[in-house]
């Protein structure tokens, strides 16, 4: 069973994205608790928790897709395709409303999918962003050309005509 505990290994190095992933893990842990708790209002609680997790997850996916487009991530299409296949799977699971074990099946799927996705695919864009930052930093840190560093005054172009 997936632990759904946030760890630094899951960080993508962007505070807003990390905060969203962390909150998503919290919602999924809450969902798992609801489907396993066995209380009399279990179904209602689980349904609410599921709706909240899926709604928040969709909001996160859209924010992340926007970020990847804005930053020119070269594997955007592949990443978006992974998000889309997740969306299709969620729709198909939700369509099996007649199944008694649906809550547990969806909770397990979400926990496994999000843990894997954040720790592998999201780490790939994190690596790209880090390499972009290194390029920017090393470009800005480059020493100016020797002539600009010299304090020698430029020769007077009118010196010979006086
Ligand atoms: Fe993400
Ligand atoms: Fe993603």
Residue 46 falls inside a structural domain: yes
Which pLDDT band, with edges at 50, 70 and 90, does 147 fall under? Answer: low
Confidence at residue 162, expressed as pLDDT on a 0 to 100 scale: 59
Residue 67 falls inside a structural domain: yes
Quote the tokens at residue 37: 């708790």
Distance 8 CA to ligand 1 centre (A): 14
**24 and 57 Cβ atoms separated by less than 8 Å:** yes
Distance in angstroms (rounded) separating the CA atoms of residues 162 and 148: 28
Confidence at residue 72, expressed as pLDDT on a 0 to 100 scale: 95
Confidence at residue 27, expressed as pLDDT on a 0 to 100 scale: 96
Distance in angstroms (rounded) separating the CA atoms of residues 129 and 17: 13
Distance 74 CA to ligand 2 centre (A): 14
**Which CATH number covers residue 132?**
1.20.120.50
Confidence at residue 146, expressed as pLDDT on a 0 to 100 scale: 72
Quote the tokens at residue 61: 């996916």
Residue 1 falls inside a structural domain: no
Question: What is the average pLDDT across 122-144?
Answer: 90
Residue 157 falls inside a structural domain: no
Distance 121 CA to ligand 2 centre (A): 6
Which pLDDT band, with edges at 50, 70 and 90, does 40 fall under? Answer: low
The sign of the dihedral angle between the CA atoms of 69, 74, 77, 83 is negative
Residue 4 falls inside a structural domain: no
pTM of the model: 0.82
Ligand nearest to the CA of 22: 1
Which pLDDT band, with edges at 50, 70 and 90, does 38 fall under? Answer: low
Distance 145 CA to ligand 2 centre (A): 42
Range of lowest pLDDT (31-35, 48-52, 155-159): 155-159
Residue 36 falls inside a structural domain: yes
Which pLDDT band, with edges at 50, 70 and 90, does 25 fall under? Answer: very high
Determine the structural domain holding residue 25 and report its residue range.
14-140
Distance 62 CA to ligand 2 centre (A): 9
| Whether the predicted pLDDT of 149 surpasses 70 | no
Ligand nearest to the CA of 57: 1
Which pLDDT band, with edges at 50, 70 and 90, does 41 fall under? Answer: low
Distance in angstroms (rounded) separating the CA atoms of residues 77 and 79: 5
Residue 149 falls inside a structural domain: no
Measured N-to-C along each axis, helices 42-70 and 102-119 cross at an angle, to the nearest 10 degrees, of 20
Confidence at residue 78, expressed as pLDDT on a 0 to 100 scale: 98
Ligand nearest to the CA of 125: 2
Confidence at residue 123, expressed as pLDDT on a 0 to 100 scale: 97
Number of domains observed in the structure of the chain: 1
């Amino acid at each position: 069973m997936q632990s759904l505990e946030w760890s630094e290994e899951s960080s993508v190095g962007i505070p807003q994205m990390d905060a969203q992933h962390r909150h998503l893990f919290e919602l999924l842990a809450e969902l798992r608790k609801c489907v396993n708790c066995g209380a009399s209002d279990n179904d209602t609680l689980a349904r609410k928790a599921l709706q909240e997790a899926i709604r928040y997850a969709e909001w996160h996916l859209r924010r992340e897709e926007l970020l990847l487009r804005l930053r020119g991530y070269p594997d955007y299409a592949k990443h978006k395709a992974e998000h889309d296949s997740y969306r299709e799977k969620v729709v198909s699971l939700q369509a099996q409303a007649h199944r008694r074990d649906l809550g547990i099946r969806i909770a397990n799927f979400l926990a496994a999918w999000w843990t894997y996705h954040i720790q592998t695919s999201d780490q790939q864009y994190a690596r790209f962003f880090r390499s972009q930052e290194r390029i920017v930093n090393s470009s800005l840190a480059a020493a100016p050309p020797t002539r600009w560093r010299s304090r020698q005054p430029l020769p007077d172009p009118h010196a010979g005509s006086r």
